[in-house]
Structures are given as C-alpha cells and as structure tokens.
Amino acid sequence: MIAEAISHVAGIKFVMANEFDSLDLSSRSTCLKWLIGWARNHEIDSVPLFGTLKEKPVKLPAEVTAYWIHDGIIVYQAMEAAT
C-alpha cells in the first residue's frame, strides 16, 4: 500500500512489490483484486509482483500475466480468465 501511495503521489502509475508469497491465500486474492481495481481505473499501468509459490497458478483474472521461473529459466505460462 505504501508503494502504491508513493506511485500515486509521484504520478508514475507503476508499483513493484516483493514477497507476495508472505500473504495467506485470502489476502493474495484481496491484494490482486485491489491492484486490478486500480488498473481498471487507470490509476496504475504495471505492477511487477514477486513471490515464491509451490506451483503455477491455475486460474488468474484476465488482467494478470504470470511468469514462472523454473531451474533459473523464465517460462511464460498463458493464463485463462477465471470463470
């Protein structure tokens, strides 16, 4: 939230956040919804969001593009919109 506030005041529409994995599952969902809301309202353009997860996410909202790193190689995984 602090990073977004600084971004908003600076007018750069960019937020970078690490340790997404430290949130519980419910809070991860809340965080994504919050960020997507900002994006839909054109308050932010890009949000690199980093975290270590046990497996690739199966379903993410259409606004989210996930990149998976396995054995040091970035593997792009296309995501389907949640139904």
**Which three-class secondary structure state does DSSP give residue 33?**
helix
The answer to whether the CB of 7 falls within 8 A of the CB of 44 is yes
The answer to whether the CB of 66 falls within 8 A of the CB of 57 is yes
Does the model's pTM come out above 0.75?
A: no
Residue with the larger pLDDT of the pair 83 and 26: 26
- Determine the residue type at 62: A
How would residue 81 be classed by pLDDT, with cut points 50, 70 and 90? very low
The answer to whether the CB of 51 falls within 8 A of the CB of 19 is yes
Buried (b) or exposed (e) across 28-42, using 16+ Cβ within 10 A? Answer: beebbeebbebbeee
pLDDT in tens, 5-64: 888 889 898 888 888 889 998 998 898 888 889 889 988 888 888 888 887 777 778 888
Q: For position 77, what pLDDT does the model report?
A: 61
Q: For position 65, what pLDDT does the model report?
A: 83
